[in-house]
Amino acid sequence: MAVRSELTADDVEATQGDFARHALELPELSAARTVAAYVSVGSEPGTRALLDALRARGVRVLLPVLLPDNDLDWAVYAGADRLARIAHPGKISLLEPQGPRLGPEAVLSANTVLLPGLAVDGRGVRLGRGGGSYDRVLARLEIAGATPSLVVLLYAHEVVQRVPRDPHDREVHAVVTPQGVRRFHPPEL
C-alpha cells in the first residue's frame, strides 16, 4: 500500500489502457456474457477503461455496492455518469452504481469475477485489503457451485513470491498487469 500511495492520478491513468487491452485479450473476458467487476479508487489499478470496453461489447457488467456488514450487493453498470461517490463511515469512499439493487446472489450469474487485491503470489493466492467483502463473494460462489474465472488487476511489482494464506482463501486463475497476463490455473470456459 505504501508503494501505491506514491502513485499519482497521472500514473494510474497512464496504465489504464494497458490493463484494459491485456484483460480484453483473456478468453474468459472475451467469451463472458456477465462480468462482476469493481470501480477502482485512488491508486488502485484503473478499471474504468475496461468497464467501458466491456459494456461497449454488450457485456453485462455488475458492480458492487458495499453493505453495512461489509457484504456486497450488486447493480448493473450503466456508464460512468451513473456512478455516485458513496462515503462509508469509518471505511472507504467508493464509486458505486446507481440503479436497482440485484442482491448479493447476483454475482452467481457472472462468467468472470474481477477481484481487487494488493498482491498475488506464484500459487495464485490473492491478498485483499482485509475487509472480507470479496472473501464473502468467493465463499458464496463456492457454496453455490459457481465456477467463474477469477482475475485480479495488479501492478507488476505486486505479483510476489508468497503471501499469507488463510484456510478460506481461494486461488485466482489469472493476474493482469500493465505488462501482460500471468496465468495460475487454466480457465474453465
**pLDDT tens digits for range 153-179:** 999 999 999 988 887 778 899 999 999
Q: Using pLDDT thresholds of 50, 70 and 90, give the confidence band for residue 187.
A: low
77 is in an annotated binding site: no
Q: Provide CB contacts within 8 A for 102, sequence distance 6+.
A: 62, 73, 74, 75, 76
Q: Using pLDDT thresholds of 50, 70 and 90, give the confidence band for residue 145.
A: very high
Q: Using pLDDT thresholds of 50, 70 and 90, give the confidence band for residue 33.
A: very high
Q: Provide CB contacts within 8 A for 14, sequence distance 6+.
A: none
103 is in an annotated binding site: no
3 pLDDT higher than 70: yes
Write down the residue that cell numbers 488463510 correspond to.
Answer: 166
CA dihedral 162, 22, 169, 165 (to 10 degrees): 10
25 is in an annotated binding site: no
Burial class (CB in 10 A: 0-12, 13-18, 19+), 8: exposed
134 is in an annotated binding site: yes
131 is in an annotated binding site: yes
**Residue-range domain boundaries for the chain:** 2-183
132 is in an annotated binding site: yes
**Pair 146, 113: CB distance under 8 Å:** no
59 is in an annotated binding site: no
Strands (E) across the chain are located at: 34-36, 60-66, 72-76, 83-87, 93-97, 112-115, 119-121, 126-127, 149-153, 159-160, 174-177, 180-183
Strand-strand pairing, 34-36 and 83-87: unpaired
Residue 189 C-alpha cell reads as 470456459
6 pLDDT higher than 90: no
Write out pLDDT tens, residues 36-84.
999 998 889 999 999 999 999 999 999 999 999 999 999 999 999 999 9
106: helix, strand or coil: helix
Write out pLDDT tens, residues 91-134.
778 999 999 999 999 999 999 999 999 999 988 999 987 778 99
pLDDT at 188: 53
Give the CATH number of domain 2-183; options: 3.20.20.140, 3.40.50.10420, 3.40.50.460, 3.40.190.170. 3.40.50.10420
33 is in an annotated binding site: no
101 is in an annotated binding site: no
pTM of the model: 0.92
State the Cα–Cα distance between residues 85 and 93, nearest whole angstrom. 7
